[in-house]
């Protein structure tokens, strides 16, 4: 390995940070590290930096690394004052207090359809613009202090450069497209929307946009830093998704997204029209509740994650009429920020551990069946479904997913695809070329089960019945 060029990729997610060190040419994993974040929907960004420093140290440091790139959770609001200090704890994507602010902004921008036309997406509580409006209304003194706004991965890339000079703030189109004040179709900020959100006509510093395959700065020790990416865009790059591939990711949130050559503008608000990390587009549907439903199942049933999956497979599809609406932490798609989880159809026959386990996995996945349907309705081609994320490892998830989607499901090898996507960005900028390098992902498993449309129908009845709850 003495002649190899090494790159570092970072995934700074909601719950943890992962660092991978890979060979830029082959993608071979050399070493890795990990750190944890504090739970909650708001957090002091210094915790991210401390975790990143620890993960880099655990990964053997950056002394022999030729380039680094950071991918991270989207939307999180990092508001900075004129001295570069964080004004208040960052509000994360899963903080729903800004739900009304999102509605207000959509109305002020001319309605949902007009908002989607301007920024690719209808605003919901998750978006940075919504959080800034919430701050302007609920914490006006903090809002008046804002001199610059960054996202988690922007702020971390800036910290690696010393975190002093606003001119060194940079991001990429994929992460910027989740702010609500950026137009992915033109790759330009909408400063007018930012000012509208903050209710103030000041000039604000926003991270400059770095194109795919370019460096944005260097660490204090001289390591070049590539543009970075939003987490889902990083995963798409890491898994080498092509147009026609739909990736269903089961992490803290559930997402279904596809690489597209054309931008999308969904006035219904179901599909967010994001940019990807390669210069194309990433139509995406996000649910707030995914892997955490399995966590809840382990607590309810008092068994391990694998045992939940095995127990679910022992039950019949549809859990003998038992359905779960998995909106434990509110929901983003559909937009029900104040919703809660609901079990329905429970009787004496299905009041057993196997049916409960089955209903919980089916409930988690049915929202993502709706997500893939929403992509198809916008004209996104679905040729393959790739299942990734922590919950995809559960033995019950892939077979049940295949039955619910009614098609073959592909399961790539378990990996840190967001961090890998960031590493690819670093390798792309380091090696040059018109596209990211392609690495060997290893063998891809395939699962094909008999379709169970009645389960999806059962779920949708419950979804629609509870619309106004």
* 3-class DSSP state of 254: strand
* 3-class DSSP state of 217: strand
In this prediction, residues 168-191 reach a mean pLDDT of: 97
Question: Does the pLDDT of residue 93 top 80, yes or no?
Answer: yes
Q: Which residues pair with 331 in a beta bridge?
A: 336
- Nearest-angstrom CA–CA distance, 69 and 240: 17
Phi, psi of 103 (to 5 degrees): -60, -45
CA neighbours closer than 13 Å in the CB half-sphere of residue 92: 20
Q: Which letter does DSSP use for residue 236 in this model?
A: H
> What is residue 414's predicted lDDT score, i.e. its pLDDT?
86
pLDDT, tens digit (0-9, with 9 covering 90-100), for 276-333: 999 999 999 999 899 999 999 999 999 999 999 999 999 999 999 999 999 998 998 8
> What is residue 75's predicted lDDT score, i.e. its pLDDT?
97
Spell out the residues 6+ positions from residue 465 whose beta carbon is closer than 8 angstroms to its own.
Answer: 344
Which of the four pLDDT bands, split at 50, 70 and 90, describes residue 1? very low
Among 183, 231, 245, 266, which one carries the catalytic annotation? 231
- Nearest-angstrom CA–CA distance, 94 and 370: 20
- Asked if residues 15 and 36 have their Cβ atoms less than 8 Å apart, the reply is yes
Q: Calculate the average pLDDT of the chain.
A: 96
pLDDT, tens digit (0-9, with 9 covering 90-100), for 225-281: 999 999 999 999 999 998 899 999 998 889 999 999 999 999 998 999 999 999 999
pLDDT, tens digit (0-9, with 9 covering 90-100), for 111-141: 999 999 999 999 999 999 999 999 999 999 9
- Nearest-angstrom CA–CA distance, 440 and 459: 38
> What is residue 4's predicted lDDT score, i.e. its pLDDT?
77
Which of the four pLDDT bands, split at 50, 70 and 90, describes residue 3? low
In this prediction, residues 430-449 reach a mean pLDDT of: 95
> What is residue 399's predicted lDDT score, i.e. its pLDDT?
98
pLDDT, tens digit (0-9, with 9 covering 90-100), for 455-468: 999 999 999 999 98
- Nearest-angstrom CA–CA distance, 222 and 260: 35
Give the pTM.
0.90
In this prediction, residues 351-379 reach a mean pLDDT of: 96
List the domains of the chain with CATH numbers.
Answer: 6-231 (3.30.420.40), 240-411+439-469 (3.30.420.40)
> What is residue 454's predicted lDDT score, i.e. its pLDDT?
98
Q: What's the longest Cα–Cα distance across the chain? A: 66
Using the structure block, give the residue that is written with the tokens 């219904």: 268
For residue 200, cis peptide bond before it (omega within 30 degrees of 0): no
Q: Is 355 a catalytic residue?
A: no
> What is residue 71's predicted lDDT score, i.e. its pLDDT?
98
| Token duo for residue 402 | 């295949």
* 3-class DSSP state of 382: coil
Q: How much of the chain exceeds pLDDT 70, in percent?
A: 99
* 3-class DSSP state of 322: coil
């Amino acid at each position: 390995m003495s002649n190899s060029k090494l790159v570092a990729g970072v995934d700074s997610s909601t719950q943890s940070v992962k660092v991978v060190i890979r060979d830029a040419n082959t993608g071979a994993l050399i070493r890795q590290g990990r750190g944890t974040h504090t739970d909650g929907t708001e957090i002091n960004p210094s915790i991210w930096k401390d975790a990143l420093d620890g993960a880099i140290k655990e990964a053997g440091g950056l002394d022999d690394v030729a380039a680094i790139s950071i991918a991270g959770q989207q939307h999180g609001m990092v508001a900075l004052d004129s001295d570069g200090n964080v004004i208040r704890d960052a509000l994360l994507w899963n903080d729903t207090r800004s739900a009304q602010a999102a509605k207000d902004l959509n109305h002020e921008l001319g309605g949902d359809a007009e908002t989607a036309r301007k920024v690719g997406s209808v605003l919901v509580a998750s978006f940075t613009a919504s959080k800034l409006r919430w701050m302007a209304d609920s914490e006006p003194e903090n809002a008046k202090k804002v001199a610059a706004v960054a996202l988690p991965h922007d702020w971390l890339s800036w910290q690696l450069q010393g975190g002093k000079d606003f001119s060194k703030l940079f991001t990429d189109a994929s992460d910027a497209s989740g702010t609500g004040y950026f137009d992915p179709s033109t790759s330009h900020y909408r400063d007018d929307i930012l000012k509208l959100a903050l209710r103030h006509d000041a000039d604000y510093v926003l991270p400059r946009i770095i194109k795919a395959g370019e460096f944005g700065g260097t660490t204090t020790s001289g390591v070049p830093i590539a543009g970075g990416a939003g987490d889902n865009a990083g995963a798409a790059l890491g898994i080498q998704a092509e147009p026609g591939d739909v990736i269903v990711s089961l992490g803290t949130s559930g997402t279904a997204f596809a690489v597209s050559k054309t931008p999308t503008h969904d006035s219904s608000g179901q599909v967010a029209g994001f940019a990807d990390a390669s210069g194309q587009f990433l139509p995406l549907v996000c649910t707030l509740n995914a892997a955490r439903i399995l966590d809840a199942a382990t607590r309810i049933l008092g068994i391990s994650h694998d045992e939940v999956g095995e127990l679910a497979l022992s039950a019949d599809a549809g859990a003998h009429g038992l359905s779960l609406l998995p909106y434990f932490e509110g929901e983003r798609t559909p937009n029900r920020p104040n919703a809660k989880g609901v079990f329905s159809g429970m009787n004496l026959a299905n009041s057993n551990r196997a049916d409960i386990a089955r209903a919980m996995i089916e409930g988690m996945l049915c929202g993502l069946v709706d997500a893939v349907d929403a992509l198809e309705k916008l004209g996104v081609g679905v040729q393959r479904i790739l299942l990734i994320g922590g919950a995809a490892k559960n033995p019950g998830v892939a077979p049940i997913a295949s039955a619910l989607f009614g098609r073959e499901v592909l399961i790539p090898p378990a990996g840190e695809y967001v961090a890998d996507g960031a590493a690819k960005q670093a390798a792309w900028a380091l090696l040059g070329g018109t596209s990211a390098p392609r690495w060997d992902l290893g063998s891809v498993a395939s699962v094909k089960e008999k379709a169970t449309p009645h389960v999806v129908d059962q779920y949708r009845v419950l979804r629609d019945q509870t619309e106004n709850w």
